[in-house]
Structure 1
């Protein structure tokens, strides 16, 4: 975080001195986009402090470019769009650029939130290594990796339709399918302890499960039946895994000015 913040300040801070205070409650390596959200928030605050206009697309490019410099491997776009816009988004990469579309209304997201459970499995190894390994194998035209990317694209398109249809059961099914696609192609995304925990949670009432981010630890996102929540949390805690508060932010980026 410190190198990224230093680069943001160096690039975007206004002339003169300033104090920068950050607060990120996501645990280290959670895989929920905490570093990208911090980059977006800091870039927005510095831009506003310098009196420059807040353009969402420009902020995304600022945050993405500077975080890429800090972690020394390429990053994607999805975490920055989530932080800037909130809610649920479809992000399409076309010939004329990137198109982002909101795919769920607040009422459905509130319903989905009641079915979400987020568990922290512990700090993983550096997630960028997993992502870069996949990226490199794709550039090398590895057949298994190419098949994985095709499967991920199909899963993403199907998930968009499930959100538009407000179909929780289909969302859970596709979450499971996406996880299986990823863990088969990149074994470091999981381990016997994670696989065993997911099996136990499914037997106890979880209907969808996927490790967030690049896997190997971090957070496990679950779609559950609300009445099974207490049982699932107790089961996870017995395995040394803690639950985290989880809400869906529908507002996205907000910049507030306080009076000195």
Structure 2
């Protein structure tokens, strides 16, 4: 058999950075966002020996382990090693991993890969993990076991899927509120949003560490409070379908977030954003911690074509995408069905045979 899983990448609209300690532990952090139809995939093929072979298709890398070895975190597929330890994998297997977006895209790729990997392992071992336990397990693998800097949103967003308003007060105190948004509002929001790849790759850990360092700075702290308040306002306007107001709040939030760290934006990103606004966009933001990756732009439908053309003229790459309302999914493939066989079809004109 083959065990497969796929987990959706996420876009955050507001609250980014407030889900990072110490702000979320002291003040309470919030995130409003959704998942999209770009995924991280995992396939597991059980083996009859003690060898674990991991293929990272994105990095064109293959690494081999033994189930009895003590895994050492050396920078080579450490997420996989930590997941193997967390799930106590004692049987040989072959693992294939790949993702629809590159690392550093701002779409939460590493967390999404982690959730896809853990979900497939849980399916293989017949361990029933609910969404909260799955997200917390992935958080523990990344943030605790590996010490990777970051917040809470990525693991919870990809596990739950869809539109959510998430509240964070530290580990074991997370509440995910699914948003019941009318499908016509979702369709219109989707049509009015543009995702543009800036061509840059951000190093989120460096930006987050700088943000944490600035927590004691009064202006940075107030900027975090503003980002949090704007996330609540975005939720209200989105639920009511006031999308132009939602787009304007994106603009306010982006300007506030840039005050949290001078590493969040750069002249190239600012130039792309300013061009979009000149061409008719109402607002937008950089996805992820900052520094590069995807720029999310909201514009009225009659300015959409002009905004997209302007971004492409400046070297941006427009992504074709849609919202995804489901979270991580896993399933088992019965490979016995793959065997070749002959199919006989009897018709009045005669008897026919096909090998399939």
What's the TM-score, normalizing by structure 2? 0.68
Match of 1:30 among 105, 130, 148: 105
| Cross-structure match for 2:130 | 55
- Give unmatched runs, 5+ long, in structure 1: none
Task: Give the conservation status (yes or no) of the 8 Å contact 1:13–1:50.
Answer: no
Rounded Cα–Cα distance in structure 2 between residues aligned with 1:223 and 1:35: 26
Task: Give the conservation status (yes or no) of the 8 Å contact 1:44–1:59.
Answer: yes
Task: Give the conservation status (yes or no) of the 8 Å contact 1:104–1:163.
Answer: no
1:100 and 2:173 correspond: no
Rounded Cα–Cα distance in structure 1 between residues aligned with 2:158 and 2:265: 26
Post-superposition Cα deviations, 1:47-103, rounded to whole Å, max 9, x if no partner, equal: 111111121111111111112257634321111221012111111235982211112
Report the Cα offset of residue 131 of structure 1: 1.1
Q: 1:257 is paired with a residue of what secondary structure?
A: strand
Where do residues 65-104 of structure 1 align in structure 2 (5 Å cutoff)? Answer: 65-69=140-144, 72-93=147-168, 97-104=173-180
- Give unmatched runs, 5+ long, in structure 2: 1-75, 336-356
| Cross-structure match for 1:142 | 217
| Cross-structure match for 2:263 | 188
1:109 and 2:172 correspond: no
Question: Which structure: greater strand fraction?
Answer: 2
| Cross-structure match for 1:222 | 297
Task: Give the conservation status (yes or no) of the 8 Å contact 1:64–1:75.
Answer: no
Rounded Cα–Cα distance in structure 1 between residues aligned with 2:82 and 2:224: 32
| Cross-structure match for 1:122 | 199
| Cross-structure match for 1:133 | 210
Distance 1:14 1:71, change over 3 A: closer
Bigger drift between 84-93 and 211-220 goes to 84-93
Task: Give the conservation status (yes or no) of the 8 Å contact 1:120–1:219.
Answer: yes
Rounded Cα–Cα distance in structure 2 between residues aligned with 1:128 and 1:104: 33
Bigger drift between 180-189 and 39-48 goes to 180-189
Equivalences, count: 258
Q: 1:213 is paired with a residue of what secondary structure?
A: coil
Task: Give the conservation status (yes or no) of the 8 Å contact 2:224–2:260.
Answer: no
Post-superposition Cα deviations, 1:166-213, rounded to whole Å, max 9, x if no partner, equal: 211121011101100011332221122221221111121222210111
Question: Which structure: greater helix fraction?
Answer: 1
Rounded Cα–Cα distance in structure 2 between residues aligned with 1:229 and 1:180: 22
| Cross-structure match for 2:330 | 255
Report the Cα offset of residue 2 of structure 1: 1.8
Report the Cα offset of residue 146 of structure 1: 1.7
What's the TM-score, normalizing by structure 1? 0.91
